[in-house]
Amino acid sequence: MDENRVTFVSKIGMVAAAAGSAIGLGNIWRFPSQTAGGGGAIFILVYIGCVLFFGIPLMTAEFIIGRSSRANTAGAFRKLAPGTPWIWVGRLGVLTGFVIMGFYMVVCGWTLDYIFQSLTGQLFSVKDYAANFVQLQENHLKQTLLTTIFIILTALFTLSGVKRGVEKSSKIFMPILFLLLIILGIRAVTLPGSSEGLAFLFKPEMKNVKSTVFLDAMGQAFFSLSIGMGCMTTYASYFRNDVNLTKTAVQVSVLDTLVAILAGVVIFPSAFALTANPDTIISDLVAGGPGLLFITIPQLFGQMSLSALWSTFFFVLLALAAITSTISLMEVTTIYLQEEYRISRKKATFFVCIGVFITGTISSFSPEFFNLLDYASAKLMLPIGGFFISLFVGWYLDKRMIMAHITNKGTIKYGRAFLKGYIFILRYVAPIAILAIFLYGLLS
């Protein structure tokens, strides 16, 4: 093992860092808009199924690959399967991380703009929140600038050696964000007319559902849990040996799912309560696309006293949740360049930033490009990565090694039965489910 690789300090810090990667704009921005498009409650049910059937097992699989190899995600496959094409799964992951940054950073930029707009009170002087968001989307230069600022902020963390900073900030800010979402959720569901929003979220209705619901939910699960691209592999390469990988995967996935559902409980009841046209609300939600969070949340704050204060607080926390995710994304590509091409961390970070600046700028100017990167990463690249990661751990890796890692050296009773069940999921259940959903989604 390379002694120069810094490890996370505390156990709770490791859960916090992995949760920090998972919890981000994916939960609070992307989950609600996918839920709207996917038809509400049925989407959420499929989503939870995906988290249980392959989300948690795959996260554990990535943890095993990372901690047993202690290398970047491509290097990990080379170490564990020397001289085989498996390394391409790692390389695909690095590319996927790069693709995600190309649109994710733009949304991060939006959060910065909303912090400024809240601070200056501008957000609440315009009454038309939708027009306000469109205005931002049409101001390409401003978006490019904000995106660039966020890339640089992320790079500063990446350069200062990630672990300590991420560990600390995730431990403090994630719980605060969680609390704030609970408060906002309570406010939202007590608005008159909000109950239909809750029904949309929790009462399954076939009439809202589209045939792409499976692929949408699966893509969202991969995206939100940060799996399928080696992000969790990379973080696990810094894990200490005494961390219980299965337990960590369960904790991170449960937290991540809770935050997503909470975000839904804030957004949908607000959207239904505050809409001007209740008859067209569902189609409006779908048409609103990526703007949902940035339109509905300010609308909700507009209903509260001290709106600017709440709003600033919310968008600052959102930006913090976003940066713990972008740090994990940038880490994947940076440590890959650093270790595989033997260049300094500085140089590696610099190259990644230039690359993301280019794709981020194109995304700032073209919503089509933005959507293409979103679609390609969540619905194509992550599931393909996840499919192969599942096969790799299920079929290729040595069972005794997996056993030592997932049972935390025998602390789990019935270790053998547990291992058998786990391997069965990775060999058959997860890959077949992923493949079926993938093909069904693409062909329907």
User: Least Å distance between CB 229 and ligand PHE?
Assistant: 6
What are the structure tokens assigned to 412, written together? 């789990």
Spatial distance between the Cα atoms of 238 and 70, rounded to a whole number of angstroms: 7
- Contact letters (x/-) for ligand PHE, 298-337, by CB under 6 A? ---------------------------x--xx--------
For residue 149, report the phi and psi dihedrals to the nearest 5 degrees: -60, -45
Q: 179: buried, middle or exposed (CB in 10 Å: 19+, 13-18, 0-12)?
A: exposed
User: Least Å distance between CB 283 and ligand PHE?
Assistant: 26
- Contact letters (x/-) for ligand PHE, 351-390, by CB under 6 A? ----------------------------------------
User: Least Å distance between CB 382 and ligand PHE?
Assistant: 7
Q: Which is nearer to ligand PHE, 99 or 437 (CB)?
A: 99
Q: Which is nearer to ligand PHE, 223 or 438 (CB)?
A: 223
User: Least Å distance between CB 329 and ligand PHE?
Assistant: 5
Spatial distance between the Cα atoms of 215 and 191, rounded to a whole number of angstroms: 33
Spatial distance between the Cα atoms of 391 and 410, rounded to a whole number of angstroms: 24
Q: Which is nearer to ligand PHE, 255 or 430 (CB)?
A: 255
H or E stretch covering 187: helix 162-189
Instruction: Figure out which of the listed residues 58, 74, 100, 177 binds ligand PHE, where binding follows CB under 6 A.
Output: 100
The radius of gyration of the chain from alpha carbons, rounded to an integer in Å, stands at 21
Site residues for ligand PHE, 198-227, by CB under 6 A, read 223-224, 226
Q: Cβ-closest residue to ligand PHE?
A: 26
CB 27 within 8 A of CB 267: no
Q: Which is nearer to ligand PHE, 158 or 208 (CB)?
A: 158
DSSP 300-368: HHHTSTTHHHHHHHHHHHHHHHHHHHHHHHHHHHHHHHHHHTT--HHHHHHHHHHHHHHHHHHHHH-HH
User: Least Å distance between CB 49 and ligand PHE?
Assistant: 18
Q: Which is nearer to ligand PHE, 197 or 230 (CB)?
A: 230
Q: Which is nearer to ligand PHE, 26 or 37 (CB)?
A: 26
Size of the site for ligand PHE (CB under 6 A): 15
H or E stretch covering 147: helix 140-159
- Contact letters (x/-) for ligand PHE, 231-260, by CB under 6 A? x-----------------------------
Site residues for ligand PHE, 16-35, by CB under 6 A, read 21-22, 24-27
Nearest residue to 20 via CA among 315, 327, 237 = 327
Q: Which is nearer to ligand PHE, 184 or 227 (CB)?
A: 227
For residue 374, report the phi and psi dihedrals to the nearest 5 degrees: -60, -50
3-state DSSP call for residue 127?
Answer: coil
User: Least Å distance between CB 328 and ligand PHE?
Assistant: 5
User: Least Å distance between CB 206 and ligand PHE?
Assistant: 28
CA separation, residue 401 to residues 226, 286, 320, 361 (Å): 24, 46, 36, 44
CA separation, residue 34 to residues 38, 116, 134, 236, 252 (Å): 6, 27, 19, 29, 21
Q: Which is nearer to ligand PHE, 113 or 256 (CB)?
A: 256
Which residues of the shown chain bind ligand PHE in the complex (CB under 6 A)? 21-22, 24-27, 100, 223-224, 226, 229, 231, 325, 328-329
